């Protein structure tokens, strides 16, 4: 079965702490995407990872991709309240031939003061 699994699905953390969200996927893919969604809003593109070993950083967020392990991580450094949102990873599980992304179920991140 082609699937994308995120964990944890719920994450409550204190400001200033570090944490990692994991995204595993079931078949070979060399590109992976991270999105952010605020409550009641649309999805905003955060990172596009297009090759094995790719690492992207933006502010307190850093994403990486290990295609051999079929794993991407989204690392949060020194969390702040503004990072509270739902984070989705998405993968093309078709090998690039079917033109569509499969999304994980999302990780609801709550950063508490």
Partner 1 sequence: NAGVTQTPKFRVLKTGQSMTLLCAQDMNHEYMYWYRQDPGMGLRLIHYSVGEGTTAKGEVPDGYNVSRLKKQNFLLGLESAAPSQTSVYFCASSSTPTGGYGYTFGSGTRLTVV
Q: Which residues bind partner 1 (CB under 8 A)?
A: 9, 31, 33, 35, 41-45, 48, 50, 88, 90, 92, 96, 99-106
CB of 109 to partner 1, least distance (A): 15
Residue among 14 and 98 whose Cβ is closer to partner 1? 98
Task: Tell me whether residue 53 or residue 96 sits nearer to partner 1 (CB atom).
Answer: 96
Q: Which of 3, 30, 4, 26 is nearest to 89 (CA)?
A: 4
Residues 50, 98, 88, 7, CA torsion sign: negative
Helix runs in the chain, H state only: none
The answer to whether 4 touches 35, Cβ cutoff 8 Å, is no
Least Å from the CB of residue 33 to partner 1: 5
Min. distance of Cβ 81 from partner 1 in angstroms? Answer: 23
């Amino acid at each position: 079965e082609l699937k994308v699994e995120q964990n944890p699905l719920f994450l409550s953390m204190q400001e200033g702490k570090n944490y990692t969200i994991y995204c595993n996927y079931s078949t070979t893919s060399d590109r992976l995407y991270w999105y952010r969604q605020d409550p009641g809003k649309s999805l905003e593109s955060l990172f596009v990872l297009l090759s094995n070993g790719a690492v992207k950083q933006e502010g307190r967020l850093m994403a990486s991709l290990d295609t051999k392990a079929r794993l991407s991580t989204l690392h949060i450094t020194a969390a702040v309240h503004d990072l509270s949102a739902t984070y989705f990873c998405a993968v093309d599980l078709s090998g690039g031939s079917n033109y569509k992304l499969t999304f994980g179920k999302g990780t609801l991140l709550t950063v508490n003061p």
